[in-house]
């Protein structure tokens, strides 16, 4: 799928932020584990959450979907082994969380994915699960994942060498599914959607600051409470709208229902430090998550240095942040972001490749990138390869706001994994993105 984004200079309007991809997947996993009649609204009807939904049904869950509403029915029989491989598509989150769930339940299963997912590292999850007593094998650290039935031991404690919300969540789900106590230390704070959701459903989750990180403990004993769930808007999706509004020459955008969980929304602080005109309105709590509306206007941005603990907070937003840096005055340096090399693509290389096509000065490092702002004038349409990565594709489509002859981006079908209405939303604000 090849998309062309024509240059436009003015963006305006009000849009709703799509449901959070990570929260959508966690909600159906935990909802299925609760084994109650539960309704989930605001669900992201995108390829990644749908892959996880299908995987859950394959092991015996009873989950149906109608647009953005999911219904989970109480099962009369327990989860069961799947005779066929469970295909998680492009969803790294789905695969890693399902590893913990299946290991904790004690099922036998084989997990696979698409070409991109089969190249993503899984040892960071399988190692602690095996230490818990599970039998999880992989192929030199990569999928396919083979899980054999084995009992999980009680009172397992794990200090993560590298902070990861997916590793933390997988271990927690294994503990909840096996009804055993688990404790995880994260060296820096990561997104806490799993902890908040387990608390929402009545389970005993304790979070305590420890050194520069946090220790999270699940203590068995409480039963799941029957509660419906509302999925707040995906901050990672809102980031594309926010930065588009900042770099467009003439823009005023109002984005409703944006998830503002402090472990996810660090990009707001960075963009304000860069000079972004951003205002948060109507804050409230929904299903344990902070949510609000974001108002954005055209801004003159300046480069900043970004490193340390904030990186895990903004890791998914770095591709679109790189476009903001390319439009800013001065130099932006991003470091401590080696994790970007093992995403859907090597995102550092993909960002660098795209910036080279834009003729933006930059320098790649093993753990980051330095970008000197200033997109020179081009007399031709820029050609970009997304490298099969949805965030790279959307980021460089947004760059068309600064390219007089627009941009062509190849391999854009991946956008549907996380933001299925991206084209419609951006075009409703004034962009002109069309399939070639």
Active site residue 154: no
If you write DSSP's letter for every residue of 191-208 in order, what string do you get?
Answer: --HHHHHHHHTT-EEEEE
CB neighbourhood size of 179 (10 A): 12
114, 316, 385, 389: the catalytic one is 316
Q: Is 265 helix (H, G, I), strand (E, B) or coil?
A: coil
Nearest-angstrom CA–CA distance, 97 and 82: 17
Per-residue buried b or exposed e for 211-233, using 16+ beta carbons within 10 Å of the residue's own CB: eebbbbbbeeeeebeeeebbbbb
How many Cα atoms sit within 13 Å of 76 on the Cβ side?
A: 0
- In angstroms and rounded to an integer, the radius of gyration of the C-alpha atoms of the chain is 21
Beta-carbon contacts of 339 under 8 Å, excluding residues fewer than 6 positions away, are: 162, 311, 312, 315
For residues 276 and 288, the answer to whether their CB atoms sit within 8 Å is no
> What burial class does residue 48 get, using C-beta atoms within 10 Å of its C-beta: 0-12 exposed, 13-18 middle, 19+ buried?
buried
The token duo for 357 is: 């096509």
Which residues are tagged catalytic? 316
């Amino acid at each position: 799928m090849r998309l062309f984004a024509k240059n436009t200079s003015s963006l305006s309007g009000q849009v709703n932020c799509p449901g959070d991809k990570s929260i959508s997947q966690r909600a159906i996993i935990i909802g299925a584990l609760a084994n109650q009649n539960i309704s989930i609204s605001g669900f992201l009807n995108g390829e990644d959450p749908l892959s996880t939904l299908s995987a859950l049904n394959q092991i015996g869950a009873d989950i149906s979907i109608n647009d953005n509403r999911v219904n989970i029915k109480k099962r009369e029989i327990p989860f069961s082994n799947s005779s066929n491989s469970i295909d998680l598509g492009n969803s790294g989150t789905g695969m890693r969380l399902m590893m913990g769930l299946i290991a904790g339940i004690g099922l036998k299963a084989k997990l696979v994915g698409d070409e991109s997912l089969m190249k993503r590292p899984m040892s960071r999850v399988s190692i602690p699960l095996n230490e818990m007593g599970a039998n999880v094998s992989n192929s030199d650290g990569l999928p396919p994942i083979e899980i054999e039935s084995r009992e999980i031991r009680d009172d397992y404690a794990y200090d993560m060498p590298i902070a990861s919300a997916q590793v933390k969540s997988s271990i927690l789900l294994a503990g909840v599914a096996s009804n055993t106590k688990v404790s995880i230390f994260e060296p820096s704070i990561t997104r806490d959607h799993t902890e908040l959701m387990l608390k929402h459903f009545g389970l005993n989750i304790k979070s305590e600051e420890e050194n520069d990180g946090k220790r999270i403990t699940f203590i068995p004993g409480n039963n799941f409470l029957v509660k419906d769930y509302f999925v707040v808007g995906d901050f990672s999706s809102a980031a594309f709208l926010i930065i588009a509004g900042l770099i467009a020459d003439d823009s005023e955008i109002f984005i409703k229902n944006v998830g503002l969980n402090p472990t996810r929304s660090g990009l707001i602080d960075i963009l304000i430090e860069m000079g972004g005109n951003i205002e948060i309105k109507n804050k409230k709590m929904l299903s344990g998550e902070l949510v609000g509306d974001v108002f954005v206007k055209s801004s003159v941005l300046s480069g900043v240095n970004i490193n340390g603990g904030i990186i895990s907070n903004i890791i998914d937003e770095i591709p679109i942040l790189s476009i903001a840096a390319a439009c800013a005055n001065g130099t932006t340096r991003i470091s401590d972001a080696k994790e970007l090399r093992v995403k859907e693509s090597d995102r550092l290389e993909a960002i660098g490749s795209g910036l080279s096509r834009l003729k933006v000065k930059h320098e790649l490092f093993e753990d980051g990138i330095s970008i000197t702002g200033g997109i020179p004038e081009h007399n031709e349409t820029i050609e970009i390869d997304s490298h099969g990565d949805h965030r790279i594709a959307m980021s460089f489509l947004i760059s068309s706001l600064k390219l007089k002859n627009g941009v062509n981006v190849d391999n854009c079908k991946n956008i549907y994994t996380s933001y299925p209405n991206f084209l419609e939303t951006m075009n409703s604000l004034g962009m002109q993105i069309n399939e070639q």
